[in-house]
Amino acid sequence: MDNQGIYVGLDIGTTSIKVIVAETVKGQMNVIGVGSQRSEGVSRGVIVDIDKAVAVIRAAVAQAEDKANIKIDRVVAGIPANMLQIEQVSGMIAVGEENKEISDNDVRSVAAAALVRNLPPERETLSLVPTEFIVDGFDDIKDPRGMLGVRLEMRGIMLTVPKTVIHNTKKAIEKAGLRVGGLVISPLAIGRLALTDGEQDFGTVLIDMGGGQSTAAVIHDRKLKFTSVDQEGGEYITKDISVVLNTSFTDAEKLKREYGNADSLATSEEETFPVTVVGKHEPAMISEKYLSEIIEARVAQIFKRLNKALDAVNALDLPGGIVITGGTTALPGVTELAQDIFGRPVKRFIPDDMGLRHPSFTEGLALIKYAAQMTDIEMLVSSVLPTPFMVDGADVRPQPQSKQPEQPAAAVDQGNQRLLKRKQEKQPDKPKSKEPSALHRFFGNFFE
C-alpha cells in the first residue's frame, strides 16, 4: 500500500499563520510551497477574532498556492493543547453471527462504542487514538479486520478540548474558502516529527515554545500522556524588552532577533548597540549582556513553571530527556538555559527540509507528516468523530482551465468512501524491563 499524494498543513499561531504544502512519495516528504503571514485575530494560539484570522489565512494560502502552482482545497490544522483532557476509553461490540470476518463497519462500531460517555456540553472529542483491539480475548491486535470473532473490543486514548476552540478554527478555515481535512492536537503531531522512535517509546518531554504560549508534553509508549501549557511565549520576551528599554514593540522584536541571547553568561558588557528610545532624540547604547538578562529572566520564568508541572508527574525522570522546538527556541542560549533549569539533557529540534530549517516551521511540517502517515485503522476510527479526517493525499485541485463544478464535501462522508490504501509500517515490540520503575508505575496507573 502506498501513502503518496499532496498534503497541506495549516499552523495557526499567535505571531504568524503558516501554510505548508508537501508532496509525499513512498514515505518521502518534499515541500513544494510555503505561505507565512503575520498573525491577526489569534491570542495564545486560539482564534479570538474569526474575520481577522480568515484574512490572514487567505493571504498565507494564496502565497503557498503561488509557490506550489496548485489550488489548495483542504488543510489539516493544529489545535493548541489549552485545557486539553486526556482519558483512556474502551468499547465492546458483538460482531454478529459465527464465522463472520471483522469488517470496516465493525471497527467503526467499536470506536463509536468507546466514545459513549457523558461529556460536558462545552467540550468536544478531538481525537480518538486506538492503542489495541481485542478479539475474543486475544489482545494487542493493531488491525482486527479479516479476523474471525464474535466479540470485538477496542482500547484507546480520547482527547477532548473546549468546543469553542474547535468551532472557531473550523469556522475560520471554512470562511477562508477551504475544507477541513482534519484537526490534530499540536503536541501529538509534533511528537511524531520531532522525536525519534526510541524517544517516543521510552518516554520524552517535548516543549514547544511559540509566540503566545509554551507547551510541555509527555510522550511515552508512543502515546500523549500529559500536557502543561504556560501562557507565555516569545511575544512576552519582546514586551519585556520594549518596556524595560522604553522602545517600540517593533524595535524590541528587531533587537531580540539581531542581538538576543537567553544565556547571559555567554554575552559581553563590552558589546553594545544603539536602541531607539521613545521620547528621546538620540539613541541609547545598550550592552549585549543587559539585553540578554532581560530575555533570560522571562525564559527562565517559563521553564521554571513548566519544570514544576513536569516534576509533579515525575516526567523529568524519563530516559529520553527533553526536546525543545518552536520559534522561540531559535534564540541563542535557550538550550543551555533549559539544561541548567531542568537538570536534564536538552536538545533542540530543527526541521531538515530545504528552506524550512527553522524551529518555527516544526508544527506545520508535523501536521503534514501526521496526515500522510495515518493508517487505515486510524482513518476508520476518526470517521466516528465530530470532525473526521478526510485526507486522502489529494488536498489540492488542479488549476482549472474552465470552471468545473466542485464535489460537495458531503461526498467524502464519515469514512464511508473507500479509504486510500496506505503503507502500514510494522511497529517494533515494546521493550520490557525486568522490574517496573516508579515512573512506569506512575504512567501505568495514570489512566486507571
The C-alpha atoms of residue 390 and residue 74 are separated, in whole angstroms, by 9
- Residue 122 CB contacts under 8 Å (≥ 6 apart), including other chains: 162, 163, 164
The DSSP result for 150-175, as a single string, is SEEEEEEEEEEEEHHHHHHHHHHHHH
Residue 108 has pLDDT above 60, yes or no: yes
Residue 273 pairs in a beta bridge with 286
Q: In the chain, what percentage of residues exceed pLDDT 70? A: 86
309-337 tens-digit pLDDT: 999 999 999 999 999 999 999 999 999 99
Summarize the confidence of residues 85-90 as an average pLDDT.
96
Residue 268 has pLDDT above 80, yes or no: yes
13-30 tens-digit pLDDT: 999 999 999 998 877 889
Q: Which CATH architecture has domain 85-163?
A: 2-Layer Sandwich (3.30)
Residue 409 has pLDDT above 50, yes or no: no
Q: Which of 50-59, 212-221, 437-446 has the lowest mean pLDDT?
A: 437-446
Q: Please state the pTM of the whole predicted model.
A: 0.85
Fold of 197-348: Nucleotidyltransferase; domain 5 (3.30.420)
Summarize the confidence of residues 419-448 as an average pLDDT.
44
85-163 and 197-348: identical CATH topology: no
Confidence of residue 176 (pLDDT cuts 50, 70, 90): very high
Domain ranges of the chain: 85-163, 197-348
Residues in the chain: 448
Q: For the CA atoms of 66, 71, 76, 77, what is the dihedral angle to 10 degrees? A: 50
> What SS3 class is residue 337?
helix
Mean pLDDT for the chain overall? 88
Residue 398 has pLDDT above 50, yes or no: no
- Does residue 76 contact residue 371 with C-beta atoms inside 8 Å? yes
